[in-house]
Amino acid sequence: MPDATFLDSTELVLNMGPQHPSTHGVLRVILKLDGEKVLGTDCVIGYLHRGVEKIAENRTFAQFNPYVDRMDYVAAVSNGLGYCLAVEKLLNVEAPPRAQAVRVILTELNRIASHLVWLGTHALDIGAITPVFYCFREREEALKIFEKYCGARLTTHAFRIGGLLYETYDGFEQDVRDFCAMFGPKVDEYEELLTNNRIWVSRLKGVGILSAEECKEYGVTGPVLRAAGVKWDLRKAQPYSGYEKYDFEIPTAQNGDTYDRYIVRMQEMRQAVRIIEQAVAAIPEGPIMGKVGKVIKPAVGEAYVSIEAPKGELGYYVVSDGSTQPYRCRVRPPSFVNLQALDRMVRGGLVADVVAIIGTIDIVLGEVDR
């Protein structure tokens, strides 16, 4: 923490947050400034700490499932998938092919919804007010599919350990196909609004550069890593839930600045549409629930499963002591790890760039603080 007593007369310590609207929640950033220039930052987190990992120790495996939705509440379905896969690995069961296909469709829809929230709020922070309305309009269509499928829009609780509880509703395939057909042209519209816009380009190009080596040192994953030119996506590197069956590309960029991260996320939305189209064309018939008993009681052991969440690598480490409750459940949240690179990215920049960089990391404070 920058100490006030050792400040030069030109230096200033400024608190940004925890109520600042551009910190995407309750993040407090202590900035050490020289005029407009940022000399250093310090993040203060924990304002949204709810002790989710401790709650897990006092709940059964099935009972903890709704809580994981409340960590990264913008991408609740991805969280549910990660937790279910971890417990399934512990139980040594696999979800049936039909369940896997539906899981892929819903997680990719959620990836689009999460990126749309990111795009809208990131553009809003920088001063482009229009995209947020368009983004939330399209996100609404994805949330309607979640609502029809599982009964909730945001904290979905869509998956159960071993597969799915709900069979797809009548017209599910058609709704998903309609969404894909509708969404492709909408991404073009967002790009028309932003990609070549001179204000947008000059606010983002060359801001918050994080090179590939630095990304690896900090353990940064997700679009931030791919924007630095590293072709790393867990859906390709360690396929789970049947991702090896789908044909898609990993979008990358070279410079690792804020503009490249924007380009990578826009391309990811297009790739997500591609995956959904392939998955919905071939949903296999069959059961939706694997061989899991009514009471989930895994043998003594531990399992770690990491998935590619919209924000990066999301890992669940679950330890069982043979009872119905997890002995320990550790979460590796992508936002928390990516946030650690904030200081490196903003150092030497301007105060206005801090807002742009916090937006580009795409943090959700529910996940950072847990």
Partner 1 sequence: MGKLLRKIFLVDLFQGLLVTFRYQQPKYIYTERYPEQRPKVAERYRGAPRLNINPDNGETLCISCNLCALACPEALIVVTSERNETTKRKELTTFTYDTSRCMFCGLCEDACPVDALELTQDFEMATYTREGQIWDRQMLEEGPKPTQYKC
Distance CA 207, CA 221 (A): 19
Identify which of residues 16 and 87 has a Cβ nearer to partner 1 in the complex: 87
Residues 6+ apart with CB under 8 A from 306: 82, 234, 238, 313, 314, 315, 316, 332
Q: Whole-number minimum distance, CB 178 to partner 1, in Å?
A: 16
- Do 205 and 182 form a contact (C-beta atoms < 8 A)? no
What's the length of the chain? 370
Identify which of residues 163 and 334 has a Cβ nearer to partner 1 in the complex: 163
Q: Whole-number minimum distance, CB 201 to partner 1, in Å?
A: 8
Q: Whole-number minimum distance, CB 276 to partner 1, in Å?
A: 20
Distance CA 218, CA 166 (A): 40
Identify which of residues 8 and 294 has a Cβ nearer to partner 1 in the complex: 294
| Direct distance between the N- and C-terminal alpha carbons of the chain, in angstroms, rounded to an integer | 23
Distance CA 304, CA 330 (A): 9
The amino acid sitting at 159 is F
Residues 6+ apart with CB under 8 A from 179: 109, 141, 142, 145, 276
Identify which of residues 58 and 340 has a Cβ nearer to partner 1 in the complex: 58
Q: Whole-number minimum distance, CB 96 to partner 1, in Å?
A: 19
Q: Whole-number minimum distance, CB 220 to partner 1, in Å?
A: 31
Q: Whole-number minimum distance, CB 161 to partner 1, in Å?
A: 12
Distance CA 263, CA 265 (A): 6
Identify which of residues 19 and 130 has a Cβ nearer to partner 1 in the complex: 130
Q: By the criterion CB under 8 A, which residues form the site for partner 1?
A: 59, 62-67, 70, 130, 134, 137, 140, 144, 147-152, 155, 157, 165-166, 169, 189, 192-194, 196-198
Q: Whole-number minimum distance, CB 164 to partner 1, in Å?
A: 12
Identify which of residues 119 and 275 has a Cβ nearer to partner 1 in the complex: 119
Distance CA 211, CA 217 (A): 10
Identify which of residues 73 and 304 has a Cβ nearer to partner 1 in the complex: 73
- Do 38 and 348 form a contact (C-beta atoms < 8 A)? yes
